[in-house]
Amino acid sequence: MLVAAAVCPCPPLLVPEVAAGAAAELDAARSACTDALGVLAASRPDLLVVVGPAEQSGRGAHPQGARGSFSGFGVDVHVRLGVPQAPGAEAERVLPPSLAVGAWLLQRIGWADAPIEGLGVGEPLAPERCIQVGRDIATRAARVALLVMGDASACRTLKAPGYLDERAAPFDAEVARALGAADVTAVEELDAELAYELQASGRAPWQVLAGAAEGAGLSGALLYEDAPYGVGYLVATWS
């Protein structure tokens, strides 16, 4: 059963070495992520699953100890998804960037509260499939927690990665409202096509969360909402 979730953005810029001179611009987001992870720890989970956007679904499962790297972003920073349970137990395939950011956040606070697994979710995965994945995750242990990585739209300004789209701000506002209220139905009903057009990488992971949260009766809190660089970043907790 899902007992808690933290929703965090997944830009590699959260890692100060990647952001370099602009690192301070995301200090508030990092602080909010730390607070959200505290909610996960307080829930005393038996299992933590980190879910984030990836190029493919299904094959995107990563065991505890899986490696991640930010070398592709020009810095020599490496992370692990928790401590390997046994030598050689971690997969050879490296974590996708979204899960590497999640691993960095967990490593930053010294997570040792529960076993960890990672799951990459293909961004085009249909909502009903995402929801079913979430339902399946919720049955994995008596007390399951989720760290859900993903960004809102990338079209909030003229200089945004997806240029300015007038639909972006209303879309992000509804996502922020739904995540802040732990509104399972609203998250399940997010428009996948619109999310794709707005380059909102979090849509599929958020709908995995919604599927996992069905019937759990969780309440939500929105800890951070902003759009630096024209990309919507949200931090929320469900508990």
CATH of the domain at 88: 3.40.830.10
Give the per-residue pLDDT at 236.
98
* Closest by CA position to 36, among listed 236, 239, 175: 236
Burial class (CB in 10 A: 0-12, 13-18, 19+), 9: buried
What is the block-wise mean pLDDT of the chain (239 residues), using blocks of 10 residues?
Answer: 98 95 92 98 97 74 94 94 70 84 96 94 94 98 98 96 97 98 98 97 98 98 96 98
Give the per-residue pLDDT at 98.
97
Give the per-residue pLDDT at 123.
86
- Helix, strand, or coil here: 162? coil
Q: What pTM did the predictor assign?
A: 0.95
The CA angle 146-144-79, to the nearest 5 degrees, is 45
**Residue 6, domain extent:** 2-238
Give the per-residue pLDDT at 94.
86
Count of domains in the chain?
A: 1
